[in-house]
Amino acid sequence: MGPQCTIGSTQHNRVSAASQSDYCMSAIYLSESHHLDADAQERALQALHDYLSQNLGANVMRHDAELVFSGTGYSGTVSLDEEKVHGELKLGLLMRPMKGTITREIKAVLATYLEGK
């Protein structure tokens, strides 16, 4: 059995260390708690929708409490339930080296929208 990578609660087996590293580094998964009421959740989703489309130029579609978005070199989803926000961002080849920077930026943006202001 080849190397393994745990993403969320799922383990993935890969053939080689090189392909494993490539697979593990191509996505960012986040889950953050929040204390927003229903109105604040709606405002946060709308603000995040606007940020993604206006600031990042992403194509954004909304399905209830989930945003599905894509742009040059990335695609992803953000969903908001009563207690947590969940995010998944898949990075294209040219975006992968910036994974750490992108992760920090996502966390900062989410923190702003999860304050409920």
pLDDT digits (tens, 9 = 90+) for 3-14: 344 444 444 444
In a domain? residue 74: yes
In a domain? residue 18: no
DSSP H or E run through 82: none
Query: Is the model's pLDDT at 117 over the cut of 70?
Result: no
What is the chain's Cα-based Rg? Answer: 15
Q: Sorting pLDDT into bands at 50, 70 and 90, what band is 77?
A: very high
Q: Tell me the Ramachandran region of residue 103: left when phi exceeds 0, alpha when psi lies from -120 to 50, beta otherwise.
A: alpha
Q: What is the mean pLDDT of the chain?
A: 80
CATH number at residue 95: 3.30.310
Question: How many domains does the chain fold into?
Answer: 1
pLDDT digits (tens, 9 = 90+) for 22-41: 444 589 999 989 999 999 99
Distance of CA 42 to the CA centre of its chain: 18
| C-alpha torsion 23→90→109→71, nearest 10 | 150
Query: Is the model's pLDDT at 107 over the cut of 80?
Result: yes
Provide the whole-model pTM.
0.72
